[in-house]
Amino acid sequence: MSTDREEREEFTGYSRRGFMQFIGVSAGVVGTTLLSQPLLRDLQAAQGVSVMSDASATRILLRVNSRQYDLLVEPRWSLLYVLREIIGLAGTKIGCDRGECGACTVLIDDIPRYSCMTLAVEAENAEITTVEGLMKGEELGDVQSAFVEEDAFQCGYCTSGQIMAVEGMLRKTPSPEPEEIQKGCSGNLCRCGAYQNIFAAAEKASRHKK
């Protein structure tokens, strides 16, 4: 005879053991190679989770930080999601997730773009640069170093997006005027209000790059 707990678990479609097994295995396969995708879909389907079929998924090639990734993605996935959860580049931050704060800024063909508002499939055949891609081996890039030297952050959550906005601006305008720096950073919000130091870091980075 089933207990009240077993009846409740059967009613919801999950057992405690099944749920924990699903969570444990799913955590191990998120962000791994294409070979794990069928396994993940089978696990989700077994637990009653709505998933897209293989026919609805799209294979794309993304070039990120000069490295090419062969990925199977759902058309609705944002570039932000793919960068963080599939490829594993967590330097790009999730902020508002609706194209307002700029924390998720990356460069697409050297142009700053909100990755939360860009579908991964839209970025195929483009050169994508994230904050990790500005490193010179183990050394910080010019803009990253300038942000450290000018103390251009407080909590730091928006910093990677700010850095990418400045990097994109300097690739277009190597010697910007103060007004151009402010305009170049205008799409990125800093709740801590460190704008003066951010502008100073952008100006110093422009000198480093000369």
Tens-digit pLDDT profile for residues 108-118: 999 999 999 99
Question: For residue 156, what are its two tokens?
Answer: 């730091």
Query: Model confidence at 56, in pLDDT bands (50, 70, 90)?
Result: confident
pLDDT exceeds 90 at position 87: yes
Q: Is 82 in the same domain as 186?
A: yes
> What's the pLDDT at 156?
96
Tell me the average pLDDT across 56-73. 96
- Indicate the average pLDDT of the chain: 84
Residue 186 lies in a domain: yes
More confident residue, 90 or 19: 90
> What's the pLDDT at 10?
45
Query: Model confidence at 202, in pLDDT bands (50, 70, 90)?
Result: very high
Q: Is 192 in the same domain as 94?
A: yes
Look at the chain and report how many structural domains it folds into: 2
> What's the pLDDT at 155?
96
What is the per-residue pLDDT across 1-48, written as a single tens digit (0 to 9) for each?
555 554 444 434 545 555 444 444 444 434 333 434 555 556 556 666
Residue 60 lies in a domain: no
Tell me the average pLDDT across 99-107. 97
State the amino acid at position 35 in one-letter form: L
Residue 8 lies in a domain: yes
Residue 59 lies in a domain: no
Calpha distance 134→146 (Å, rounded): 13
Q: Is 106 in the same domain as 203?
A: yes
The secondary structure of residue 110, as a DSSP letter, is: T
Query: Model confidence at 150, in pLDDT bands (50, 70, 90)?
Result: very high
Determine the structural domain holding residue 114 and report its residue range.
Answer: 75-208
Q: Is 38 in the same domain as 128?
A: no
Per DSSP, the residues of 162-205 read HHHHHHHHHHH-SS--HHHHHHHHTT---TT--HHHHHHHHHHH
> Could you tell me the CATH number of the domain that includes residue 179?
1.10.150.120
> What's the pLDDT at 208?
84
Q: Is 191 in the same domain as 144?
A: yes
